[in-house]
Structure 1
Amino acid sequence: MRTIDQIKESIAADFMNNEAVADLFGFPAGDNFAAHFSKVSVVNLLFYVFASAAWVVERLFETHRAEIEARIGEIIPHRAKWYKSKVLEFMQDRTLMPDTDRYDTSGMTQEEVDAARVVKYVTADENRNASLLTVKVAGEKDGVRCCLDPEVEMQLAAYLAEIKDAGVRINLVNREADTFNCSIDIYYNPMLLPENVRRDCEAAIRSYIANLPFNGEYTNMALIDALQAVEGVRIAEFRQATASASGMTAVTAIDARHVPAAGYFRAGQITLTMKAHEQV
């Protein structure tokens, strides 16, 4: 929002650019206002009064706009991304201010706020057919994604029940990482040691799996692309990949792509068959 001085400068600029006014006062059109009118001149004081009145009107409209937006926010049901942002604001072992969806952080340092916000990863997706909002979450320990502790999950569930819109059903997903296994044939440059190429290939696989976006889609093609970038790999021939959700005995064969049930993977058994690539 503009200040009084900014409004006054805009009025003065229009005044100085008006050719009829310039002829009347005897100055070149577009000249500097301060070069012809002092701070105590009648014109300068009138401009200040006009600018002050305009500033008050702009403030009133700004306040009115903020009140209308707040009212609309209270009436219209929130979208999925609102739930995502609110889950990231969840704070462990703290309560909301009465009749609000906000915490009182006035007596906390930024470090304390960051430590209390234990949810580091979250997605919120609506299943329109089932009228269900699925919220997947994860924390972080030593830079690695992890499941939230059970007591924290209970607090988060209570927090969501408090802030959610009436009638919204929420499926909170807080699970250990899905296990990813794969089997790949690596045709390597025989001028290099197969042990070194194997080590770099396994590191590339683990890096790809660990750095997928939270609840992001894994693809066999992208994994092969990551292996093709490893020095010494001439051909990476995909055999199979599987995923198993934590606590489940079923193993899912990955056909082209897969989204982990927990929102993230951990690398399990990586089987690399090293084959020297001989020139034909």
Structure 2
Amino acid sequence: MRTIDQIKESIAADFMKNEEVAEAFGFRAGDDFAAHFSKVSVVNLLFYIFAAAAWVVEKLFETHRSDIEMRIEEILPHRARWYKTKVLEFMQDRTLVPDTDRYDTSAMTPEEIDAARVVKYATADENRNASLLTVKIAGEKQGVRCRLDPEVEVQLEAYLAEIKDAGVRIDLVNCEPDTFDCALDIYYDAMLLPENVQRDCEAAIRRYIGNLPFNGEYTNMALVDALQAVEGVRIVEFKQATAQAEGARQAVAIDARHVPAAGYFKAGRITLTMKPHEQV
């Protein structure tokens, strides 16, 4: 929104560009307004009055627009993306401003706000068949995704119950990461030490698993691509990969692709069979 001074400068600029006005007042069109009119001149005072009136009108329209947007926000049901945003804005050990879905952060520093927002990763997806909104979350410790503490989960559930639309059922998923196991045959350049190539391959697998977007899709093909980029790797023969969610009785085989139940993985058993690549 423009200030009174900005509006006044706009009026004065148009005034000074007018050739008929310039001829009547005896200045050259395009001259600086302050060079010909003092702060106490009648023209300057009139322009200020006009600018102040225009500012009041603009302020009224801005207030009206904000009021309409707020009313629309209250009427329309929120989309899944809104829930993701709100979960990321959740603050540990703090209460909402009464009758709102917002926190009062006016007395908080940016560092305090960041520390209170303990949910660092979140997704929200609607299951149309079950009329259920699944919200997956994770925190972060030392740069690694992790499960939030139980007491924080209780606070987050209370927060969601307060801000959600009436009738919306939310399934909050706060779990340990799915365990990822894999087995591959690596044909390596025989001029290199196999233990060095194996070490780099294991690092590439852990890096690929750790850098997947939260609730992102793992694919066997992308894993093979990551290994093919390792120095000394000639051929990658994929054998198998499995994922086991927290509480699951057994791991499930990954056929081409998989989205972790928790939203993220941790690397488990990485079995690499190193074979020297020989020219045929």
TM-score by length of 2: 0.94
1: distance between equivalents of 2:50 and 2:114?
47
> 2:64 matched to which residue of 1?
64
CA distance, structure 2, for counterparts of residue 174 and residue 87 of structure 1: 12
How far residue 108 of structure 1 moved from its aligned partner, in angstroms, is 4.5
- 1:107-126 pair list within 5 angstroms: 107-126=107-126
Aligned residue type for 1:136: K
Partner of 1:118, secondary structure, is: coil
Alignment correspondent of 1:218? 218
Cα separation, 1, equivalents of 2:183 and 2:96: 49
Distance 1:174 1:38 in 2: 67
Q: Which runs of 5+ in 1 are unaligned?
A: none
Match of 2:18 in 1: 18
Shift of 1:178: 0.6
Q: Does 1:174 align with 2:140?
A: no
Q: Which amino acid aligns with 2:192?
A: L
* SS at 2:66 equivalent: helix
Mapping of 1:17-96 within 5 angstroms? 17-96=17-96
Q: Distance in 1 between matches of 2:161 and 2:150?
A: 17
Aligned equivalent of 2:262: 262
- Shift in Å, 1:24: 2.2
Quick one: which amino acid aligns to residue 238 of structure 1?
Answer: F
Quick check: 1:98 aligned with 2:103? no
Note the alpha carbon deviations across 1:6-26, whole angstroms, 9 max, x for none.
111111111111222222223
Deviations 1:127-174 (A, max 9, x none): 223221100011222221111222222222122111110011111111
Q: Please give the alpha-carbon distance, in whole angstroms, between the structure 2 residues aligned to 1:18 and 1:84.
A: 54
> In 1, Cα distance between the equivalents of 2:49 and 2:113?
45
1:199 aligns with: 199
Q: Summarize the alignment of residues 127-206 of structure 1 with structure 2, pairs less than 5 Å apart.
A: 127-206=127-206
Q: Which amino acid aligns with 1:256?
A: A
* Equivalent residue letter for 1:228: Q
- 1:68-125 deviation digits (Å, cap 9, x = unpaired): 2122211211111211121122223333333222334455554444333222211111
1:3 corresponds to? 3
Amino acid at match of 2:135: V
Name the SS for the 2:242 alignment partner. Answer: strand
Aligned residue identity for 2:205 = I
CA distance 1:49–1:104, change in 2 (3 Å)? closer
Number of aligned residue pairs: give it.
Answer: 280
Distance 1:60 1:92 in 2: 37
Inter-CA distance 273–109: structure 2 relative to 1 (3 Å threshold): same
Distance in 2 (CA, whole Å) between partners of 1:107 and 1:29 is: 51
TM-align CA RMSD: 1.7
Q: By how many angstroms is 1:251 displaced?
A: 2.2
SS in 2 for 1:148: coil
Deviations 1:174-224 (A, max 9, x none): 111111111111111111100000000000100110111110111112111
The range that moved more, 147-156 or 174-183, is: 147-156
* Larger displacement relative to structure 2 (248-257 or 165-174): 248-257
Please, which moves more after superposition, 71-80 or 101-110?
101-110
Residues 106 and 36 from structure 1, CA distance in 2 versus in 1: closer, same or farther, beyond 3 angstroms? Answer: closer
Partner of 1:237 in structure 2?
237
Deviations 1:22-60 (A, max 9, x none): 222232222222222222222121111111111111111
AA aligned opposite 2:43 = V
Q: What CA distance in whole angstroms lies between the structure 2 residues aligned with 1:129 and 1:35?
A: 72
Q: 1:25, 1:111 → 2: CA distance?
A: 57
Amino acid at match of 1:214: F
Q: TM-score, normalised to structure 1's length?
A: 0.94
- Identity %, equivalent residues: 82
